[in-house]
Structure formats: C-alpha cells, structure tokens
Chains A and B, each alone.
Chain A
C-alpha cells in the first residue's frame, strides 16, 4: 500500500509540473488582455501612457516560460504569488474560498453516493420491473442533462416559483454572520443540484453490479439456504456489487470539480469557482496556476484513493501488484 502511494507520488510531480507549464502556455496564447482585465472599466478611458505603464508594472510582456519559472521557484518556497485580478495573495484567495467549495463537493458527493446506491439496489432487485425502468430512465435522462441547465431549473422551481429556498449566496444578503442554519439552507439547492448531476453514474453502476451479483452462484446459494431476501440483497449482492463503484469514486472527481464550477457560478456560491473563471478571463497567471494545480492534485488523490479502497475491499486484488 505504501509502495503504491509512493509510486503515485513520484508520478504526480512531473504531471503537476506539465500541467502548470501548460496553463502558462495556454494563458499566454489566449486573446484576453491582462492589462484591460486588471484595470477593468477604467481601462476603457485610459490614455496610452497609462496602459503602457500598467503593462510594464504588471510584467505581462515577459515570455510565458520566464513567468512560469518565476512562479514555480516562488511556489516551491511556499509563496504562491499575488492575484492581480482579486488584488489579494493567492494563498488568501484559496484559503477563503476552498472551505466552501470543499463543503459543497463533500455534501454533494455523499448524497450522490448514498442516494445512488439506494436507487441502484432498488432497480437491481427486480430487473425489468416498473421501479427498474423508472430509475434507469431517470438516470439516463439526468446523465444527458447539462449541470447548469439543472441548476437554472432548480432556481426557477424552488426559489422563484415556490419560494422554498434561497436562490443564491452563502447567507441571506442582509445577514452579517455566517451561521450554521443560514449556510445549511443556502447549501441545499447547490449541493442538491451537484448531487443530482453525479447521481446517474452511481445508480447505474450499482444497478449493474448488484444485478450481476444476484445472478452469481454464492448469492443463489444463499437464497437456496433460505436466508432472508434482505440479508441476501444487502449482505451478499450489495457487497460485491459495490466494488466497481469504488473505482468510480476516483474517476468522478474531475467531473465533480467541473460540475462545481458551474453550480457555484449559477448560485453565486463564494467558492473557488468564481475565482477560477475570473483568473482565466483575466489571464491572472499566479491564481490560475495555483487553482489548476489544486484541481489536478485532487484528481490524482481521487484516483489513488479509489485504487487503495479497491485493494482493501476486494480480496482478489493485491495492492503489491498494482
């Protein structure tokens, strides 16, 4: 297990390096002008001298590899640089926002896994039944629906039509404190939407896994011994049916992150999503590089976690072979 983690860590270094280099290269090639992004509307009334002075002060004329190298060497000493667009140190931007994004993702992920498992088991219990067909149809439908579309639909339904839940923000606009109750009520819609967007994958995998397991010899044997349907389903079929889901958990992390970006912008959730979008359109190199590194690291850790879980739960897999 330690060897697997160690090998992955060795592999992660070059990947992260390549990703940050790519970010700087792509950002440098983008048509957005960092000077205009920095100055905002003020740039549209500025004289040439001012624009040139800003260009020089921001150092945006250096080639991107120089800027990448400067950023990298500083980042290795713990200095992630200063975000030009948010006028804050990058560490502060991430520190203030990451916790809210993590909360959103964690809640959504937990809901998706739990609800997906329940629905999958229900569907697998009797293949071809009404429940099975309804659950599968719903899963395929949700799989095809874009996240932002579901999000807008949810705002329209729950916030505008029924006025049940707040349409956005972390707390009520007038409230000055971040209280547990406020955050909870504001979390329901975005986390729900994000969970729903992840739901079909888990549902379909569990349905398939449990369905296959129900047809296998051990399960048929258990049934033949007269064990209760409940014990057979949850004790035998679900346990082996869940194995594929473990791999899925790792591979869903990237989509969870991109999904969160969209959900956060629709619900004006103060996570890192808004910062990411701003960083990209403003060609804010330090912030963009730090956020991409973070996302890449999340994906790598997710994959490692899935493999480790797989090794722990499936007796047929030896971690030393991976």
Chain B
C-alpha cells in the first residue's frame, strides 16, 4: 500500500516536472529581444497578397512598390518612378519614367512592361478586383521603351496620380497564372523593402528584409504580423511580451498608459461614422427632419463618451485635419434650432413626445451591423439625441445580408473614409449618378449643386478651384444633409518604445495592416 502510494507520488512529480519543462520555452520569449525584429498584433489578415486583387492598392505595401508613394503627410513622392508624372493633353495624359536598376526580389529587373501588365490585369473584367472602379478613368496604358509608361484617360481626372500608388507586380511570374487563383496570391514577389518569409493563414505573416531592395537597407530585419481577432487577447499578449505592438481599442490602450516601456500612438483618420438618411424614406427624405437631426446631435459627447476622447467630431466627410476642410462648417449642438426647423416645417409635437405631420409620425429605423460595439454605441446615442428633438429612431442590429436590401429605405450606421484625395471618398458617397449603386451613395443623396461641385473637383487641375469646389460640397451638406456625420475615429496603437522614427499617417477606414505606426517600418532605427 505504502509502496504504491510512493510510486504514485513519484509519477505525479515526474508529470508535473514534465509539464513545467515543456512550458519553459514559452516563458522565455521576452528577454533578449532583438531590436531588429518586430512582432505586431493585428485583428485581421488580408485575403490575398496579390495587388492584382486589391492588396496594397492605397500604398504602404511592404512587399511591393507603386510608381508613386506617400510620405507621412500623405504627399505624393516618387517611388518606382523617378519623378511625379508629366501631365499633358489638358490633364488626360500622364507620363511616368521608371527608376533605373530596380529589381524584383527574385533578381529580375523591373520594366515598363511590368507596369502595363499590372494595370491591364487589374482593369480586366475577368480579374476579381473589388477596386477596379477606382481606375475607371483609364482609357489605355502603354509602355514606351523599357522605362516609360503612358496613361491616357477618358476624361481629365485631377487626382489620378494618387491612384498610381498601386503596387507593381512582375509579369514574368504573375503573367503565367490565373490572377484569381494562382499561387501569386499567397507567394508574392515584389520590389519592396521586405519579402514574405512565411504565411500561416489565420496565425501570422512573417516578413524579412529584401536584400535586393533599391532603397536604403531597412534596420528592422524581420517583422511578424500576428493575426489575433480578439481585442483582449491581443492586449494580454502585448502585456506578456509576446507582441511588441498592437492595434487596440482606446479603453484597452489606456491600460498601458502607465507602462514606461510602451508608447501609445493615436493616428488621426478619415474613418467616419455617419447615419445614412435615405432620400427615398418617407421621414428621412424630408429635408427639415435631416436638418433638425443634424442640429440635435451632440458630436462632442460621442467623442468623449463612446471613443474615450480618441476621435474628433465629424462636421462632414472630411476630417478637420484635411487641407480641404472648410472651418465654416464647424457647428455645435443646437436643440432650439432643431425645434424651430421642425415647427416651421409643420412637424407638430404629438402626445407621446414624438412629432407628427399629416398623420405621419417622425419615426424611422436605424440599422447597424451586429457585433460592432462602436457603431452600436453611436446608434444608441443618436437615437437618444433625436428623441430630444421629438424624432423617434428605432435602433436595430442586423448582418450586412439583411441590411443591404433595406439600405434604400432605412437608415444605416455606416463607416467609410478614403485617403489620398477628397474626390476618392466624396464622389462615391455623394454623387447622384451613383445613388444606390452597390454600397456607393447609400443614402441615395441627390443634390445638383453637389454633383456640379464634385465634377469640377474631379476634372480641373487648378488646386485653387478644386479647393473651392470641395468647400461648396461641405457647405451644401450642412444646408441639405443626406447623412448625419457623427465622428472621425482615431486609430490607437501601443508599441514597445525601442525604435526611433515612428510616426502615423492620416488613415483610411481600413487600418491595422497597411496603416499604423509601422507604415514606414523600413525607416525605423533601433534605439541605443
């Protein structure tokens, strides 16, 4: 009996020791971390790494370069091209000259044919690229010799140069495959500062420095993007030292504020949350209702309460930091004005606190995608603000499959935001020709003055006239709001304080993979 018990204890001890020994390698990650390797936690991974299907279309791809790139202030600068394009023919012909001596990471030289192949494949209707319409203006793209590429446009399109940050792929590899299904989707080859070393889908992507890179040699030799969907798990693994940095919601980022080894970066963004007010809806189609809602909503409180201060009130689709932002449209909450507008328009207060006009109650449904906490909070705050003006907003959550067919009649808590040029975000959001076209102009907004200004902004090359046109658009949106713009959301990142040269750009709606303080990781310098 005793002997057995002793033997049992020995087995238990051995098992425990075994478990402890197994755990040892997992515990020893945080010491002696090299400054030339970086591990970042992000929430999502790209579906594909092929630019032909849309990867890196806004620049900032670590594996690829475009003809042009953007600096920290989002100004265009040459990348694979030697200079900004020569624009001739009244804004309809763009000519680029390629940099000498650029090689793909497999050693083949970059030629004008690679550029032509890339654009032609993206424009091919058989290629499953979701962003093809961004290049709608292109009529033809041709190579002149080995180092010159000429784009001819169907109409003068002022912001076209900003589209040429599109990454260039090697024709000698991608040209031999079906762009939709080929192995290039997961085994990309480009000219960028890094090459893909390993991609375990759903777990992580590892990049290492490209020895053939045409630019200065990156000091960060390897970096890993760990895909961790859950915010709390990402924060925990950042705290445990498993990650060097992560994208986090503001409230979780705040828990690192006291941590001396970590720095928090709040990137301002074009990422807005807005309520679409369908012009075909019986209540939301009434301009008085839309103006009253715009006056009744407390944007400041949403920024403070919902976003923990990590954001700015949105007075229109353009954030206050955009050079084209018109300060004249900044406005505070004004409940008295909302009441006045509604009284004048004949919406009379009813018995239950909800106004009515000609027997119709001032009531409509607001949908938001289920599971999105930030949008849910915005929707509830919006409903409570609207209530104070006597407008009933019924908040409902649903999946996009349910929301999509109802977008024409019901309001939706939407989020968008494009960087690069006011035209990119505003035209698809507001132009009447795109009303109800897929997810473009979800509110079916129709305003001839806005259409005219958008067309001017798109076609003229004169910067002064363009700025004036976008000023007109912003002021028209105050007078006739098709959307209630609520907030612009800051994207928050926490990173170990081990490098110099970290900055953030103004970011688009999508973030976390291409955007973030690591947008220029090739320029980081380890701290001494």
Interface residues, chain A, with chain B CB atoms under 8 Å away: 31-33, 36, 38-51, 53-54, 57-58, 82, 85-89, 96, 160, 163-170, 172-174, 176, 181-182, 184-186, 188, 268, 270, 274-275, 278
Contacts and interface: CB of A to CB of B under 8 A. Distances in A.
A220 B240 CA distance: 58
Given A174-B33, A186-B26, A50 B438 contact: yes
A176 B204 CA distance: 10
Contact of A181 (B25, B402, B510): B25
B439 A185 contact: no
Given A164-B19, A173-B237, A174-B39, A57 B203 contact: no
A44 B400 contact: yes
Contacts of A168: 233
Most buried by B among A39, A51, A174: A174
Interface magnitude class on chain B: 35 or more
Contacts of A32: 401
Contact of B26 (A86, A89, A165): A165
B443 to A, nearest CB: 15
Interface string B25-68: 11101000100010101001001101001100000000000000
A268 B437 contact: no
A46 B198 contact: no
A33 B400 CA distance: 9
Interface stretch (B161-169, B221-229, B304-312, B336-344): B221-229
A228 to B, nearest CB: 13
9 nearest A-B residue pairs (beta carbon):
A42-B130, A48-B438, A166-B26, A87-B185, A47-B438, A173-B226, A274-B202, A39-B130, A82-B181
A33 B346 CA distance: 43
A87 B26 contact: no
A185 B204 CA distance: 18
Given A167-B236, A270-B203, A172 B438 contact: no
B29 A48 contact: no
A210 B39 CA distance: 53
Contact of A41 (B22, B204, B434, B510): B510
Given A31-B399, A44-B400, 5 more contacts: A32-B401, A48-B440, A88-B201, A166-B26, A169-B204
Given A57-B126, A185-B23, A51 B226 contact: no
A174 B437 contact: no
B82 interface: no
Contacts of B44: 41
A184 B22 contact: yes
A274 B203 CA distance: 10
Contacts of B439: 43-47
20 contacts: A31-B402, A36-B401, A42-B54, A46-B438, A46-B439, A47-B434, A47-B439, A53-B125, A87-B47, A165-B26, A169-B204, A176-B198, A181-B25, A182-B26, A185-B26, A188-B22, A268-B228, A274-B201, A274-B202, A278-B202
B148 interface: no
Interface in B461-512: 509-510
A186 B23 CA distance: 8
Nearest to B30: A174
B22 A185 contact: yes
B400 A36 contact: yes
Contacts of B27: 163-164
B200 A48 contact: no
A47 to B, nearest CB: 4
Given A46-B130, A270-B202, A31 B180 contact: no
A189 B416 CA distance: 40
B401 A33 contact: yes
A268 B228 CA distance: 8
Interface string B170-197: 0000000000110001100000000001
Interface string B228-262: 10000100110010110000000000000000000
B242 A174 contact: yes
B48 A87 contact: yes
B428 interface: yes
B128 A38 contact: yes
Contact of B47 (A40, A160, A166, A181): A40
B74 interface: no
Given A38-B128, A40-B47, A176 B203 contact: no
B25 A185 contact: yes
B20 interface: yes
A171 to B, nearest CB: 9
B201 A270 contact: yes
Contacts of A160: 236
A105 B237 CA distance: 26
Contacts of B202: 268, 270, 274-275, 278
Given A36-B401, A54-B128, A167-B237, A172 B428 contact: no
Contacts of A50: 130-133, 438
B26 A173 contact: no
Given A31-B401, A167-B236, A185-B25, A176 B186 contact: no
A172 B399 CA distance: 35
Contacts of B131: 42, 46, 50
Contacts of B236: 160, 167
